[in-house]
């Protein structure tokens, strides 16, 4: 599997230390465009204090801009523009926030279903960096919706569709040609950093490594949900890190 396949980090419970100091390993990447940093509105950060610690750790790792992408998945996470904006404003107004030099913006991670189609038709999506939309599928079952058609609808409205963590849809793991088809249909692909490190499992690591080596990866995202995720991504092997640095990723093209 190449250099990225040489390292496997077993999934486990990392000790969360309040004063963890992380090296600036990702100052070359600068932008994280997939995470769940906003407090109390999905399965990510539960409160403002935790969200502030997220920001501190992003700063320590060398990130300068973070796009919050809270879940919009009805009825599990019935978020909308107002709920997400309110959570962002609450975090931005928190004591100590101004002392953390990381720019925070917000968008969403949309679940691809009929509600998502309705939002497209009503022009109610929240793109980040002007025109990018992050969307996800079920991890356990294939969607009945036509992915090419959805990409076409978004592109027709001047947006760039990004499929979140394609390596985690295990029903595609034995037919890797599907990813090239998605790219041909207009989808950009975002791989989770922790997939490359083996956090979710060997299959996810194998598929994410394949995507990277085949030049199919457009974005790298942390998909951070908990503080221990920052300890995990800081444990990256130096060889993996150098390979990532040599790979062209368009995170750098995202602008606030």
> Do residues 57 and 230 touch, judged by C-beta distance below 8 A?
yes
The whole-number average pLDDT for the span 131-160 is 97
Residues near 56 by beta carbon (within 8 Å), at least 6 away in sequence: 100
User: Residue 255's pLDDT is what?
Assistant: 73
Q: State pLDDT tens for residues 68-94.
A: 999 999 999 999 999 999 999 999 999
As a whole number of angstroms, the distance between CA 66 and CA 113 comes to: 26
Helix axes 48-61, 81-92, angle to 10 degrees: 70
User: Residue 1's pLDDT is what?
Assistant: 45
In the predicted structure, residue 15 carries a pLDDT above the cut 90: no
| Domain coordinates in residue numbering, the chain | 3-9+24-253
Work out the angle at residue 134's Cα, subtended by the Cα atoms of residues 133 and 140, and round it to the nearest 5 degrees. Answer: 145
In the predicted structure, residue 103 carries a pLDDT above the cut 50: yes
In the predicted structure, residue 19 carries a pLDDT above the cut 90: no
As a whole number of angstroms, the distance between CA 183 and CA 203 comes to: 21
> Do residues 196 and 4 touch, judged by C-beta distance below 8 A?
yes
The DSSP symbol for 138 reads: -
Greater model confidence, 18 or 216: 216
User: Residue 217's pLDDT is what?
Assistant: 96
User: Residue 18's pLDDT is what?
Assistant: 54
Q: State pLDDT tens for residues 231-249.
A: 999 999 999 999 899 887 8
| Residue 82 CA: distances (Å) to CA of 75, 85, 128, 131 | 16, 5, 16, 19
Greater model confidence, 123 or 13: 123
For domain 3-9+24-253, give the CATH number. Answer: 3.20.20.140
- Two tokens, residue 32: 């994280």
């Amino acid at each position: 599997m190449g250099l990225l396949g040489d390292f496997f980090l077993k999934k486990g419970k990392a000790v969360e230390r309040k004063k963890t100091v992380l090296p600036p390993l990702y100052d070359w990447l600068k932008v994280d465009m997939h995470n769940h940093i906003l407090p109390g509105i999905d399965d990510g950060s539960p409160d403002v204090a935790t969200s502030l610690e997220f920001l501190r750790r992003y700063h320590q790792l060398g990130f300068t801009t973070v796009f919050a992408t809270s879940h919009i998945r009805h009825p599990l996470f019935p978020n909308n523009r107002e709920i997400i904006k309110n959570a962002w404003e609450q975090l931005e107004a928190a004591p100590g926030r101004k002392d953390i030099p990381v720019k925070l913006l917000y968008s969403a991670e949309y679940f691809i279903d009929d509600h998502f189609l309705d939002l497209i038709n009503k022009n109610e999506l929240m793109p980040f960096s002007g025109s990018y939309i992050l969307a996800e599928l079920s991890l356990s079952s294939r969607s009945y919706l036509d992915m090419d058609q959805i990409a076409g609808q978004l592109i027709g409205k001047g947006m760039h569709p990004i499929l979140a963590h394609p390596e985690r849809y295990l029903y595609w793991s034995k037919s890797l040609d599907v990813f090239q088809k998605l790219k041909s249909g207009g989808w950009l692909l975002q791989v989770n950093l922790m997939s490359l490190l083996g956090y979710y499992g060997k299959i996810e690591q194998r598929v994410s490594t394949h995507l990277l080596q085949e030049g199919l990866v457009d974005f790298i995202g942390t998909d951070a949900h908990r503080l221990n995720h920052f300890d995990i991504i800081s444990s990256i092997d130096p060889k993996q890190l150098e390979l990532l640095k040599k790979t062209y990723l368009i995170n750098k093209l995202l602008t606030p």
